[in-house]
Amino acid sequence: MHERFHKFAQGVSERVGSVQALVLAVAVVVLWLVSGPLFHFSDTWQLVINTATTVVTFLMVFVIQATQNRDAKAIHLKLDELIRSQRHARNFFTDLEHATDEELAELSRQFKQVHERAQRRRAAKEGPHSRDGDAKH
């Protein structure tokens, strides 16, 4: 049952994200608007589109979330494999999605420092006027 739901969710997500689905949605709204005078722009006429869009939106939240969760898991597994394949990589990163906000902030700070050191080394190699000399006349 679980696998069938994933296949269903993936299929629905692909179809809903298509140009044809957008054209269909626009056509439904235009048809609803055009039918307004026929129904005298009544409360029932408004209720039809409100109810339909609410139900579709409610159901699509679950379908899209299921698809995104599955895609995120696949991406994490691919990244984990890349991290594990690198001899000097820190294996801590394979479980990063479970890190606390403080741990993520600390890693961000560390990477910012690495970036700043790399910029300083590059600037030292290029010389003091390399920034000003970048613009070609």
Predicted local confidence at residue 137, as pLDDT: 45
In a domain, 45, yes or no: yes
CA 19 to chain centre: 19
- Cα Rg of the chain (Å, integer): 26
Question: Residue 136 falls within a domain, yes or no?
Answer: no
71 and 123 in a single domain? The answer is no
Cα-to-chain-centroid distance, residue 55: 23
Mean pLDDT of 7-17: 89
Give the structural domain span for 53: 2-89
Provide the percentage of residues in the chain whose pLDDT is more than 90: 52
Q: Are residues 48 and 76 in the same domain?
A: yes
Nearest of 92, 125, 126 to residue 110 by alpha carbon: 92
pLDDT tens sequence across 28-46: 999 999 999 999 999 999 9
Query: DSSP characters for 32-57?
Result: HHHHTTTTTT-HHHHHHHHHHHHHHH
Both structure tokens of 26? 């626009």
The residue with greater pLDDT, 13 or 20, is 20
CA 21 to CA 25: how far, in whole Å? 6
Mean pLDDT of the chain: 88
pLDDT confidence tier of residue 76, bands split at 50, 70 and 90: confident
pTM of the model: 0.58
Per-residue pLDDT band for 130 (boundaries 50, 70, 90) equals low
Is there a domain that residue 36 lies in? yes
- 76 lies in the same domain as 29: yes
Q: What is the DSSP letter of 128?
A: T
